[in-house]
Structure 1
Amino acid sequence: MVQKKVGVTGFGMGGALAIAGSIRFPPSFDAIVSFHGAPPRQDDPSYASAPVQAHFGELDDFVGFSDVKTAKELEENFKESEYPYEVHIYPGKGHAFMDSMILPDEDDAEVQLAWSRFKEWMTRYLYSDMIAVKL
């Protein structure tokens, strides 16, 4: 029997909850991708129980949640985790820049780059038997 793997992605609060879920309920997921959201400070990212990839816009001004300073703090904390991590900051992008993925502006190079990184991450950690949950 093939064991199924679970990947979780979220946007904004969903992204923050995906990371927080791997901290509070280990081992619950096999791969996580967060767009525009970091968990609350009481959830120490070094305790993440799965590989985490996170995406932030350089111009995001949601202080303490998804601004550049928060993204860099998140990345610093991941260094203490035993799991792989990536934190990407996209120049010239604000909060929720991935929303353009479903709008007519789909050809945006940064959105396409983030989307390709997402697909590569989930493929790497989940293989072909993926069950994905969007929060």
Structure 2
Amino acid sequence: MDQKYINLFDTYTHGGMNRRDFLDRLKALAGAAAVTPILAQLENNYAHADTVAADDPRLVTKEVQILPDIYGLLAMPKDAKGKLGAVMVIHENRGLNPHIQDIVRRVALEGFVVFGTDYLSLIGRTPQNEDKAREMIGTLKPEDVLAMSMDVRLALSEHEASNGKVGAVGFCWGGGAVNALAVADPDLNAGVAYYGMQVPAADVPKIKAPLLLQNGGLDERVNAGIKDFEAALKAGGKTYELYVYEGANHAFNNDTNPARYNKEAADLAWGRTIGWFKKYLA
């Protein structure tokens, strides 16, 4: 697909324009007849979300209220022996959708207690309409998001199946939330940020958790902040690894999005993610 369509969609999905303006600009770029087939490639298709089935017999999976007013999806191996490391999964700006729920189950199959938080819990929970979800996320206050992350991190550390160590993985909006949590919470044991916005360099000295940073080479919007962030991490002697997957777009991990999914990059990044958690949460 032409990169200009993907870039336009990225601008739209991150609040740069409303849907009507996006469709008008797409029509102007591609022609009216091409809009529908292009949208079929650009927009998520959750019919392909269940890499791990919701009722997979290897897992115990259930929607739970982990704390007052905080809902989400909890998953863990059914036949786990001993305590397990715990992982928070932080969604994109579309909320706790089927793709992110599948990510929760995928991580759980690797031997972790996993909770996918619905950050829209306080204002009605994730709706099916993605535009509505993005609008709702735009109303969240950063301090409330951070407080929810810290509360969930603590709750997972105290979960009966947890060994007390907690990591966090986030995608896009959630990747930025992982970076912010690493600054604010010295008890976070590991973080993995997929194409997430960076924190200010001045905040980097507060980071204690080892960070794995995974970015798409074509993601100019997010990548603009990499240089300063990495310089601050190096200067502070922080434990981190940074990977930029050449030829991959923002959201390259999302296998429900035909235009932006990059299987080679996603598979490599996934292996690194699981390896990171197995190293620091054991």
The TM-score range, normalised by the shorter chain, is 0.7 to 0.9
2:239 to 84, 87, 90: 84
> Is residue 201–residue 228 contact of structure 2 (8 Å, CA) maintained in 1?
no
C-alpha RMSD of the superposition: 2.4
Structure 2 CA distance for aligned equivalents of residues 109 and 30 of structure 1 = 28
Cα deviation digits, residues 63-102 of structure 1 (max 9, x gap): xxx12x32232222111334310111000011111112x5
Measured after TM superposition, the shift of residue 13 of structure 1 is 1.4
Structure 2 CA distance for aligned equivalents of residues 106 and 70 of structure 1 = 22
Letter of the structure 2 residue corresponding to residue 46 of structure 1? P
Partner in structure 2 of residue 70 of structure 1: 225
Larger radius of gyration: 2
> Is residue 30–residue 126 contact of structure 1 (8 Å, CA) maintained in 2?
yes
Q: Does 1:44 align with 2:195?
A: no
Unaligned 5+ runs, structure 1: 128-135
Structure 2 CA distance for aligned equivalents of residues 97 and 126 of structure 1 = 25
TM-score by length of 1: 0.77
Measured after TM superposition, the shift of residue 28 of structure 1 is 2.8
Measured after TM superposition, the shift of residue 112 of structure 1 is 0.6
Measured after TM superposition, the shift of residue 21 of structure 1 is 1.1
Structure 1 CA distance for aligned equivalents of residues 173 and 202 of structure 2 = 14
Structure 1 CA distance for aligned equivalents of residues 207 and 239 of structure 2 = 10
Partner in structure 1 of residue 183 of structure 2: 23
Letter of the structure 1 residue corresponding to residue 230 of structure 2? E
Q: Percent identity over the alignment?
A: 30
Cα deviation digits, residues 86-122 of structure 1 (max 9, x gap): 111000011111112x568988211110000101111
- How many matched pairs? 121
> Is residue 191–residue 209 contact of structure 2 (8 Å, CA) maintained in 1?
yes
Going from structure 1 to structure 2, the CA distance change for 1:55 and 1:108 (only over 3 Å counts) comes to same
Bigger RCO of structures 1 and 2 (CA < 8 A, at least 6 apart): 1
TM-score by length of 2: 0.39
Letter of the structure 1 residue corresponding to residue 167 of structure 2? G
Cα deviation digits, residues 4-29 of structure 1 (max 9, x gap): 1000010011111111112123x131
Structure 1 CA distance for aligned equivalents of residues 172 and 202 of structure 2 = 16
Ranges of 4+ aligned residues in structure 1 off by more than 3 Å: 102-107
> Is residue 38–residue 74 contact of structure 1 (8 Å, CA) maintained in 2?
no
